[in-house]
Amino acid sequence: MKCIRLDALQILILDEVDRMLDMGFVKDVKKIIGMCPKERQTLFFSATIPPEIDAIASFALRNPARVEIGVARTVNKSVTHAFYPVGTALKFELLVALLAKTDFHSCLVFSRTKHGADKIARKLKAANHSVAVLHANRSQSQRVEALEGFKSGKYEVMVATDIAARGIDVAGVSHVINYDIPANPEDYVHRIGRTGRAQAVGEAFTLTTPEQADDIRAIERFIGQKVPQLKLEGFNYNAPPPRPMGYQGAAPNYSQRPAPSYQPQGQRPTAGQPHQAHAPRLAHAPAAQPRPASTHAYQQPSQPAAPGGGAQPAPRKFGGLSRGSWTRR
């Protein structure tokens, strides 16, 4: 398109570089760097830069100096965080119970997928919560409206994905809830780092399921500490799974299904007459009639007697026709 020239650029800043490179934007970043002059200053900013990302980003840096604020791979000491194990079918019910029993000012709920974020937001709205949604499929105007509404207090809860959450910089987030455990351990640090900023106190809850034991151990190894696993007091962890949204009424009882009723042929009930239960459909089956002989049956033509009075040998068969039945046309 050639809408912009970078040959006079002096300072190149790449923000959230680990996420850009890890998501596969290496070629795009290299193309931009190739348009910049070689003599320049390059700055990388990111909440986390693991060693494997250092190797990928080395093509753009020359004798870099690393500046770290805080301790790498650790959770802010002002944040209290814990795991809440629960069955998959009761995750949303536990989320609602946590919100009901928590005195929060603003809560950020993380989902792994965009579809999951939309689903959580719809169900929270049905539970009378003011909710905003932020993910990659939202338009720019929708993202701005969600962030501004969350900052101003119009929305008490914001549901977001990891990719969209990289741009969230909202002061005063009191609670973070990981509805889905993050795919990467470093994302756990980044997520709960949205609360407890500027020496403020924050809380972070992560809902986990029994099959996510390996993910829990990976997070604990990454941050170098054990994370307490708690149960919410008063929550029924043995409750039956909830019914889908929009379903009304009790489940059908198939054990009380009425027996089928039939009427003999030719004895249809009149108006107001009840059906007779368990009556056979046919009173008497008609007797089987012999099948008439086909009028198109193939008749073998009579064969002339062989010389000497012997029987004429049977004709040889070829593909269902006898040689003797061939005629010149």
Task: Find, among 275, 264, 225, 104, the residue nearest to 173 by Cα.
Answer: 104
Query: What order do you get walking across the sheet with 202-208 strand by strand?
Result: 79-85, 202-208, 175-178, 107-111, 157-161, 131-134
Q: What is the mean pLDDT of the chain?
A: 77
User: Among 15-19, 59-63, 198-202, 257-261, where is mean pLDDT lowest?
Assistant: 257-261
pLDDT tens, position by position, 270-316: 555 555 544 445 445 555 566 655 555 445 555 555 555 555 555 55
For the segment 88-95, the average pLDDT, to the nearest whole number, is 95
Report the share of the chain in percent with pLDDT over 70: 66
Distance from C-alpha of 225 to C-alpha of 77, rounded to nearest angstrom: 12
**Has this prediction a pTM greater than 0.75?**
no
pLDDT tens, position by position, 194-233: 888 767 789 999 999 999 999 999 999 999 999 999 999 9
User: Among 14-18, 79-83, 313-317, where is mean pLDDT lowest?
Assistant: 313-317
Report the share of the chain in percent with pLDDT over 90: 36
Q: What is the pLDDT of residue 282?
A: 47
Q: Is it the case that residue 111 has pLDDT exceeding 90?
A: yes
Amino acid identity of residue 310, one-letter, is G
Structure tokens at 300: 């073998």
Q: Which domains does the chain have, with CATH numbers?
A: 11-60 (no CATH), 79-223 (3.40.50.300)
Q: How confident is the model at residue 175 (pLDDT cuts 50, 70, 90)?
A: very high
Report yes or no: 47 and 170 within 8 Å, Cβ to Cβ.
no
User: Among 136-140, 291-295, 323-327, where is mean pLDDT lowest?
Assistant: 323-327
Question: Which carries the bigger pLDDT value, residue 205 or residue 78?
Answer: 205
Q: What is the pLDDT of residue 329?
A: 46
